[in-house]
Structure 1
Amino acid sequence: MKNSLLVDKSRMPLAMGIAFVAFTTQFGGGFASGAQIYQYFINYGIWCLILPVLTQGLYALFFWYGMRYAYKHKTYDYRSFSDSLYGKTRHVMSNLYEICYLIMIGTASAAAFATGGSTIETLFGLPYWLCTVIVAAFIFVIALFGTTVVRKCASTLSVLILIGLLLVLVPNIIAQWDNIMDSIGRMSAGEMTVLSQQSGAFGPALWSAVLYFFFQLASVSVMYQHMEPVTDVKQIDRAAIGMFVCNFVAMELSIIGLLAIAFVAELATASVPMLILVQNGVGASVLTPIISLLIILGAISTAVNMISGIVTRCVNAVERRMPTPEKRQQGHLTRNAIFTLIFTFLAFAIAQFGLMTVVSKGYAYLGYAAFITLFIPFVVHAIATRGREV
């Protein structure tokens, strides 16, 4: 047995590796901290308990469609995928999607840098810029060596994150079960959490959940590069089921746990709701470092997947112009390093401005961009072809 930290194909089926890439793409620092869960789900009332089924169902379905198309048409980066899917409209739509992807790099990746850097700063008291350099170094090294390493790291990080979630949430759900049931009762009666400015109506809750899906859909493009080693569509089918199960369980567990503090006064001024959960529950001295580690791992995993996707697109674009496979192989790692450095630095530079307000607004813009460039084209394509092209 190999003494490797990475969960490789010999230990884990390819389908689960792919599912875990999708998991780590969605599970970022915002999710780990609990802030994203409150912003898009719990703040909208009791509907938070059922809407993750819709959100994660749509997520798995659309990712399944995109991955099946990429596999069948051998489009292993998002530009070749876009040019193929959009057909005659590719000259407009493919370039629109390039803008969508850059918005994603500028929001999700920069947020990952900022969140990871802030957490390290809090833990060790190092200067913020140095903390983001440390995050950047991890991201650069992992993303540098291509999709195989990214997929292995995603598998490893997913296992660590899931274990960490269970360690943090399960004891606190058990210890604070009465508080959770009290919150559910109060929300069922129409009372809203201390963070909420919503009415509790179903319409706004549904729209918030769908908007969450829209901006998560933008990351489907990071999956295409992982279709190259696939040998059977059944692997993609299993991957879609795996990503639904992992993502739904993680989200539902987080929501149930965080309901314990839905009406705690300290939540109003907290930037990390998950930390308030632990401080009001059990094992704070042990679980606080685990939460911090989860946030850092979540931030790094998200940024790695995003940056890897655009690096693959750029490297493929350069290498397609080369006449032979031998020419493409020569200097491949150097080209990978150059583009990885460029986009890692771009996300790092944005994070230095501390644009967390802009970034939080950027998620909404990202959702609208994904609606135009991905959701509508996927639906139109599926109807027009009756699903025959996947």
Structure 2
Amino acid sequence: MQAKKNKNTAVILGVAFVWFTTHFGGGFASGAQIYSYFVKYGIACLILPVLAMVYNGIFFAYSLRFARKHEVYDYRSYNNAFYGRFAPVFSNLFEVLYICVMCVAPAVAFATGGATLSTLTGLPYLLCTFLIGIFIFVVAVFGTDLVRKVASILSICIIAGLLIVYIPNIVSGMDGISKAAESMRSAELPLGSAVYSAFLYGTFQLSNIAVFVQHARSFEKPSDAGKSMGVGIVVNALMMVMVALGLMSVYTDPGMADASVPTLFMVQNGVGASFMTPLISLLIILGAVSTAVNMVAAMVKRICKEQREPAGTSQKPKIGKKEIAAALICCIVDFGIAQFGLLTLIQKAYSLIAYLAIPVILIPYIVHMIATRMDTKSPGEKTTVHRSEDDYEKASKGQVDAAVKVVRQKTVADGVYDTGMPAKKALYTGHIGDGKIYGKARKTARRAGERICGYESRSNQRRKDGFS
């Protein structure tokens, strides 16, 4: 019993850590995100990161809970189930949003690595991003497996490096933080702009739902999603506030406004610069490379259909000319996007993703939360039965299995996604309109249930009563 409880706790913490490592990559380690969306908007930068993470945590918990409850663990199937009858529109819009993220995120990684290398060496930014691009291309083609194996270790190293760098600079820079707070108050920066900026930051992070839903499978029960994201809120918010405090220590320095890598600027003007500058620079570049390699590899996989290996073979998939060409095209596109500059990409491109996420994720999710009462009832229960669930539990196993067989046969014949157990559950409870069975298969399920299990839908009952 205790071992099971410990395992469940480990899973809850593990999924929270997935959010943590997804959020804190090379781009975050540069400090550009926190400076652009929070610090430059005033003293509210110490509170708004917490609110942004609470905002994210609510939506992430809702999506993970939905995925675990309905057993949909890849983002396409998840979107089809979540959006229900609107899936043909919103699932495809989500694909467009996801492709935008897959283009911008590697470009930010290119820019992060290039800006850091340029600051360290004094070489032109164009040349530095080109060198970073060559390195990313080579690793993406030949070393993806290695990067995946060390990705978690790299993330932990980045986190440890941030703690090593920021805590001493915060302690030694308390005077600078006090001056920054006074300067922010006297400037009377508008709170509305700060709140809107934090809203955009939280909204573009919502696109990570596509990454998270696969991890819902590991939860013992759907309610574990809320516990996991609660831990994630605390950890992410604390790290963001820590970075904001560190950047405030050099906020009043005239060079801070033009710094392309704020964390590096803070280290160069703080304590232990000789030791911490190469340390944080290396971690930022490694984090950027690992992020870009994973993104480029994912895009290559989407472009080049994977060939299925015969059963029993354990050979590694061969890298062909098509894969190399796809990786090269992705790197060239990302290199071109990176020339807009790190701060421009973070301020403009991330904001664009946020605007795209509003109609695709934010509004539909709010509507879904309201319509389903936080996923406690099926949306638009037009075919809800009048008999209780206990009545269906009394139905013979043969009756239910026969109905499920009819539904499955019709589902396969129509080329509609077959959900197996949810179909059986739908026949038991009569909740056919829960987004699990689509189109003609839904009607077939209702008719099969009425014929074999002996229940009547509300629509049929209304028809008998003389209503249209």
TM-score band, normalised by shorter chain: 0.7 to 0.9
Matches of 1:329 and 1:55 in 2, distance apart? Answer: 48
Deviations along 1:309-363, one digit per CA (max 9) or x if unpaired, are 7688889x979xx9xxx96887996399999878754542223223335734221
Matches of 1:343 and 1:334 in 2, distance apart? Answer: 16
Of structures 1 and 2, the larger Rg is shown by: 2
Instruction: Give the length in aligned residue pairs.
Output: 363
1:313–1:136 Cα change, 3 Å: closer
Matches of 2:184 and 2:143 in 1, distance apart? Answer: 43
Matches of 2:101 and 2:238 in 1, distance apart? Answer: 25
- Which fold has the larger relative contact order, with Cα–Cα distance below 8 Å and residues 6 or more apart in sequence? 1
The answer to whether residue 254 in structure 2 is matched with residue 265 in structure 1 is yes
**1:374 positional shift:** 0.9
Match of 1:54 among 51, 54, 67: 51
Match of 1:359 among 337, 342, 345: 345
**1:219 positional shift:** 1.6
Match of 1:212 among 184, 188, 201: 201
Match of 1:68 among 65, 68, 90: 65
Asked if the contact 1:78/1:313 (under 8 Å) is kept, the reply is: no
Deviations along 1:56-111, one digit per CA (max 9) or x if unpaired, are 11111111111222222232222111111111111111111111011111111221
Asked if the contact 1:44/1:200 (under 8 Å) is kept, the reply is: yes
Asked if the contact 1:307/1:340 (under 8 Å) is kept, the reply is: no
| More displaced 10-residue stretch of structure 1: 293-302 or 172-181 | 293-302
| More displaced 10-residue stretch of structure 1: 276-285 or 132-141 | 132-141
Match of 2:317 among 309, 331, 334: 334
Match of 1:156 among 130, 153, 160: 153
**1:294 positional shift:** 3.0
**Root mean square deviation, CA, Å:** 3.5
**Aligned equivalent of 2:110:** 113
Asked if the contact 1:77/1:309 (under 8 Å) is kept, the reply is: no
TM-score, scaled to structure 1: 0.80
Match of 1:385 among 368, 372, 377: 372
Identity of matched residues, %: 40
**Aligned equivalent of 2:264:** 275
**1:376 positional shift:** 1.1
**Aligned equivalent of 2:420:** none
| More displaced 10-residue stretch of structure 1: 22-31 or 84-93 | 22-31
Matches of 1:57 and 1:282 in 2, distance apart? Answer: 33
| Amino acid corresponding to residue 86 of structure 1 in structure 2 | Y
Matches of 2:207 and 2:319 in 1, distance apart? Answer: 23
Match of 1:349 among 332, 349, 368: 332
Deviations along 1:23-55, one digit per CA (max 9) or x if unpaired, are 222223332112221111111111111101110
Structure 2 stretches lacking a partner, 5+ long: 1-5, 378-468
- What secondary structure does 1:217 align onto? helix
Structure 1 stretches lacking a partner, 5+ long: 1-8, 192-198
**1:202 positional shift:** 1.0
Match of 2:27 among 9, 26, 30: 30
The answer to whether residue 355 in structure 2 is matched with residue 368 in structure 1 is yes
Matches of 2:298 and 2:192 in 1, distance apart? Answer: 34
Matches of 1:246 and 1:45 in 2, distance apart? Answer: 23
| More displaced 10-residue stretch of structure 1: 254-263 or 127-136 | 127-136
